[in-house]
Amino acid sequence: MWTVLKFDKKNIQGLKKDFSDKLGYGLKFYMPKIQLKKFNKRNIILSEKLILGDYLFCFHQKFSKKSILSTLKYAKGLKYILDDFLSSQNEIEKFIKKCQENEDENGYVNPSFFDFENQKDYEFMSGPFSNLIINIISQNKLSINALIGNYRITVSKKDNLVRPV
């Protein structure tokens, strides 16, 4: 049974320890993340970012019992447990499966995970065009054709991450 937790980023280790102490064997955590490449003069700076911000997925068979959830409510590092996760199990499992299918060997989600809509504005999060706004004209499996101002560019989906503006 999967649940979604909102956690304190400064105290993630405390949360994991508290949950493992209370639940024991069979506990799994999943936090999908991406790797960002920023260019600083001549250097490339790699950073890691969680896709869901301060939310994570947690799996344990006992989550179907409300008494277990009430004992976990005050765990160190936990802000709250999202309600109504029982009715969303299929969607949660599909999302986790899609993330895991698009992970590289280091556990980072590939840019191919994200879907883009044509004629919409996006901002580059990584690559040489970091923090620039683009308008996607067209796309294929490997690349994006876009406009930056009056300039038309074609960039690889593999090396560049964009987010909606």
Residues 134, 145: one domain? yes
What pLDDT was estimated at residue 87? 84
At residue 154, the 3 state secondary structure works out as strand
Q: Which of 138, 144, 140, 139 is nearest to 156 (CA)?
A: 144
Q: Is the pLDDT of residue 53 over 80?
A: yes
The predicted-structure confidence for 39-51, as pLDDT tens digits, reads as follows 777 788 888 889 8
Tell which of 90, 111, 132 closes a domain.
Answer: 111
- pTM for this prediction: 0.75
The predicted-structure confidence for 14-26, as pLDDT tens digits, reads as follows 999 999 998 888 8
Q: What is the CATH number of the domain that holds 49?
A: 3.30.70.940
CA dist., res. 35 & res. 161, Å (int): 9
Residues 155, 103: one domain? no
Containing domain of residue 151, as a range?
114-164
Domain count, the chain: 2
CB atoms within 10 A of CB 21: 10
CB 118 within 8 A of CB 137: yes
Residues 71, 6: one domain? yes
The predicted-structure confidence for 104-136, as pLDDT tens digits, reads as follows 899 998 877 777 777 778 888 877 778 888 888
The full length of the chain comes to: 165
Residues 134, 104: one domain? no
Residues 103, 119: one domain? no
Residues 149, 76: one domain? no
Residues 24, 104: one domain? yes
CB 56 within 8 A of CB 31: yes
CA dist., res. 114 & res. 74, Å (int): 35
CA dist., res. 133 & res. 147, Å (int): 9
Residues 56, 76: one domain? yes
The whole-chain average pLDDT of the chain stands at 86
Paired with 163 in beta bridges are 123
Which band of pLDDT confidence, cut at 50, 70 and 90, is reported for residue 94? very high
Q: What is the CATH number of the domain that holds 144?
A: 2.30.30
